C-alpha cells in the first residue's frame, strides 16, 4: 500500500495543484493531510475544496485552529495573525465546520499522524533537533510517526547506535528502527528549497520518498498581495524560508 502524505498547504492553490498533479502520477492507494489547510495563503476555501474529496483522513493544524477560533492569536506573529483573521472572514460555513471536526491525531497501520508533535498534538511544539525528536519518540509505539508544522522536510531515525537526522530524499525504513518523519510543506517550505514538498510511503517495502515539485510562485504571490495580505507572505515563497 502506497500512502501519499501532504501537510501545511496554507491556502496556496498553485502549490497544491502542482502537488496533486504529481501525486496522481505516483499510484498512491490513499492520501492523508497533516493539517494547516489554511493560513498565510489567499485560497483557503479553494484548497479545502480541492483536497478534501481526495483524502481519506486529516488532522487539524494550528493555523486551521486559529482561523476557526480554537487557538488564540497571541501565539502568532503579526503577519500570521493578520492572515488568520483574514482567513476567518473568508471561510465558508461548510469549510469552517470541516476544520472544526478534524481530530488532533489519526492512526494508520504502523504509523501515527499528527500535525506538530506526538507528545502533545494540541500544544503545537516544533521538532527541530535530535534532542527534540528523542523525547517525541517516547510518545508512540508505532514504527513511524509523520508530522509537519516546521515546514522542514527530513527524517529522524533511531537505531541501536543512536539517533540521527537526514534530509535524504529517498530511504528505506528498516523494521528494527524507529522513525519520526517531517513531510515538509506544500504551500510554504522553509528549508531553503521553495518547491512544494510532500511524501510517499510504501508501507510494504518500507520505501520513503520526499518529493519536491516546482510551481508558479509568482502567481501565488500575486494572489496573496491582491487579497490584501502582507507582502512578506508573498516574498517568502520565493526564498523557501
Beta strands in 111-216 (DSSP E): 111-114, 144-147, 154-159, 162-166, 170-172, 178-182, 196-202, 207-213
pTM: 0.96
pLDDT tens-digit series, residues 13-22? 999 999 999 9
pLDDT classification of 241: cutoffs 50, 70, 90: confident
In this prediction, residue 20 carries a pLDDT of 98
Taking alpha carbons only, the member of 195, 196, 198 closest to residue 181 is 198
Handedness of CA 151, 106, 46, 79 (dihedral sign): negative
Give, in order, the Cα–Cα distances in Å from 236 to each of 34, 78, 131, 190: 22, 15, 28, 9
Domains of the chain: 2-239 (3.60.21.10)
What confidence tens digit (pLDDT) does each residue in 56-89 have? 999 999 999 999 999 999 889 999 999 999 999 9
d(CA 175, CA 179): 10
> Containing H/E element for 83?
helix 78-90
Q: Cell digits for 194?
A: 521553495
Are 208 and 170 in contact by the 8 Å Cβ rule? The answer is yes
Amino acid at each position: 500500500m502506497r500512502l501519499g502524505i501532504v501537510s501545511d498547504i496554507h491556502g496556496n492553490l498553485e502549490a497544491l495543484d502542482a502537488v496533486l498533479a504529481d501525486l496522481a502520477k505516483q499510484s498512491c492507494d490513499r492520501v492523508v493531510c497533516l493539517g494547516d489547510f489554511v493560513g498565510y495563503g489567499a485560497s483557503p476555501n479553494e484548497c479545502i475544496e480541492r483536497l478534501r474529496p481526495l483524502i481519506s483522513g486529516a488532522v487539524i493544524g494550528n493555523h486551521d485552529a486559529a482561523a476557526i477560533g480554537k487557538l488564540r492569536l497571541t501565539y502568532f506573529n503579526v503577519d500570521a495573525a493578520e492572515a488568520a483573521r483574514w482567513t476567518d472572514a473568508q471561510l465558508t460555513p461548510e469549510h469552517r465546520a470541516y476544520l472544526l471536526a478534524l481530530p488532533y491525531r489519526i492512526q494508520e497501520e504502523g504509523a501515527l499522524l499528527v500535525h506538530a508533535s506526538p507528545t502533545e498534538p494540541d500544544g503545537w511544539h516544533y521538532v527541530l533537533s535530535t534532542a527534540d525528536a528523542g523525547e517525541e519518540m517516547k510518545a508512540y509505539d508505532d514504527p513511524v510517526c509523520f508530522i509537519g508544522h516546521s515546514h522542514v522536510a527530513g527524517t529522524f531515525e533511531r537505531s541501536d547506535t543512536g539517533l540521527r537526522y537526514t534530509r535524504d530524499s529517498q530511504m528505506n525504513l528498516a523494521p528494527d528502527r524507529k522513525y519520526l518523519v517531517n513531510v515538509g510543506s506544500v504551500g510554504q517550505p522553509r528549508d531553503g528549497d521553495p518547491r512544494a514538498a510532500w511524501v510517499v510511503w510504501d508501507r510494504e517495502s518500507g520505501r520513503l520518498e520526499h518529493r519536491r515539485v516546482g510551481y508558479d510562485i509568482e502567481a501565488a504571490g500575486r494572489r496573496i498581495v491582491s487579497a490584501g495580505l502582507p507582502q512578506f507572505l508573498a516574498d517568502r515563497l520565493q526564498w523557501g524560508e
